[in-house]
């Protein structure tokens, strides 16, 4: 098999930190205390993100004193300005964005049942679903999905096996996201996409081989760039320590230049986790649109019913950090495993996956082309990992296996 298999594993960014009862945030725009659930990013003493959690945040006006009885259990954070000062060693600091606007009934996805309020405080404070992007590259009314061309038994899928997979995917999905250029995957996916009416989100996985990767992409699509929705440069490299921010942005610039020379004029983006993007929004600012991976399963306080709420909250926070908050934001990976170990309220299972995916789709019902679900088929070529709750192989939509693995 040409090249190498890409283990694009999920990273949960978890650290054992005692859960706070509440976080107090001083907000000069408020006249009375207000409690709202928020997705909070904890950082270490060097301001590096180390985990996320859904916490109860108490917004209080400057004139209201926080009761002394609860002071030891809370931490005060000022919204404006957000301090960049590092916290004392060993004491993680929550970064909290301004609260979402109170939703109207139409903001809450109608395709998911609403549980009692006490089961999850977030249900009464759902943010509005992500607004349609100012510019959408393919105008598709279908959601996207990720795809890997590897057999569970080892080796690459043949052109016929890739075609069989696309025949299944094309029934429900528009853009198909690939991660690299090995296994002749660009050429086989191009032929299948042309046949079944899909577009391709292609990827340069190895940022040390950009020129070669671009040449492989150009040849694989036969210079027919009309079928290419986007080209990504790397996947979660900053989050995983595979590249620095500077290296990632340098690779982005190099790849964009090479792709333009090859005739491609579409979007070129860096893809990373939302934790990395919140810490380094320049990854979005310098990409042609903002591309983020958001997995609610790795937040132990988010159950499948509120997966869409979690994703919408993250997108809202990311926009608040971008130099142009109106720039297009695409969630390039999100989903829910159907098998594995539980992560607090995040429980894997076929029913749970169905609920989570419905919740995410509900949040994106007005702009489905701005979300790419993870993943089309179970990735049996991956290895189970306790750090990702032994679920790494089992994110296939509906528990689906590729026919090459049956």
Active-site positions? 333
Per-residue tokens: 340: 């594995």
Instruction: Give the closest residue to 147 by CA, choosing from 122, 126, 171, 169.
Output: 169
Per-residue tokens: 230: 């986007």
β-bridge pairing 93-95 and 34-43: antiparallel
Q: What is the DSSP letter of 150?
A: B
Q: Within 13 A of 147's CA, how many CA atoms are on the CB side?
A: 36
Distance, CA of 379 to CA of 401 (rounded, Å): 8
> What's the Cα-to-Cα distance from 134 to each of 180, 191, 317, 367, rounded to whole Å?
28, 31, 18, 11
Q: What is the DSSP letter of 279?
A: H
Which residues are registered as beta bridge partners of 143?
173
Show Cβ contacts of residue 260 under 8 Å, excluding neighbours closer than 6 positions: none
Residue with tokens 């709420």: 309
Instruction: Give the closest residue to 376 by CA, choosing from 196, 120, 116, 237.
Output: 196
């Amino acid at each position: 098999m040409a090249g190498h298999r890409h283990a694009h594993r999920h990273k949960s960014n978890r650290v054992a930190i005692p859960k706070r009862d509440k976080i107090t945030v001083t907000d000069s725009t408020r006249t009375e205390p207000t409690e709202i659930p928020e997705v909070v990013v904890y950082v270490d003493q060097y301001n590096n993100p180390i985990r996320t959690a859904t916490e109860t945040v108490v917004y209080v006006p400057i004139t209201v004193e926080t009761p002394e009885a609860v002071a030891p259990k809370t931490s005060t954070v000022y919204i404006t300005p957000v301090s960049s000062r590092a916290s004392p060693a060993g004491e993680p600091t929550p970064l909290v964005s301004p609260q979402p606007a109170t939703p109207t009934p139409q903001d809450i996805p109608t395709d998911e049942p609403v549980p009692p309020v006490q089961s999850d405080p977030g249900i009464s404070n759902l943010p509005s679903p992500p607004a349609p992007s100012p510019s959408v590259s393919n105008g598709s009314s279908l959601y996207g999905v990720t795809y890997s061309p590897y057999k569970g038994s080892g080796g690459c899928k043949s052109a016929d096996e890739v075609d069989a997979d696309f025949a299944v995917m094309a029934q429900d999905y528009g853009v198909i996201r690939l991660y690299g250029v090995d296994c002749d995957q660009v050429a086989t996916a191009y032929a299948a996409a042309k046949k079944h009416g899909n577009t391709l989100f292609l990827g340069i996985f190895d940022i040390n081989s950009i020129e070669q990767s671009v040449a492989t992409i150009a040849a694989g699509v036969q210079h027919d760039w009309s079928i290419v929705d986007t080209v990504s440069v790397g996947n979660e490299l900053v989050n995983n320590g595979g590249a620095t921010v500077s290296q990632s942005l340098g690779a982005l610039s190099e790849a964009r230049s090479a792709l333009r020379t090859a005739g491609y004029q579409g979007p070129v983006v860096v893809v990373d986790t939302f934790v990395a993007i919140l810490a380094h929004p320049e990854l979005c600012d310098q990409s042609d649109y903002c591309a983020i991976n958001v997995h609610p399963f790795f937040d132990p306080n988010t159950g499948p019913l509120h997966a869409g709420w979690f994703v919408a909250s993250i997108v809202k926070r990311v926009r608040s950090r971008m130099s142009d908050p109106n720039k297009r934001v695409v969630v390039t990976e999100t989903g829910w495993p159907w098998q594995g170990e539980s992560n607090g309220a995040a429980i894997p299972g076929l029913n749970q996956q169905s609920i989570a995916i419905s919740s995410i789709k509900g949040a994106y019902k007005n702009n489905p082309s701005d979300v790419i679900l993870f993943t089309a088929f179970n990735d049996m070529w991956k290895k189970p990992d306790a750090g990702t709750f032994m679920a790494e192989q089992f994110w296939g939509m509906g528990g689906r296996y590729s026919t090459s693995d049956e």
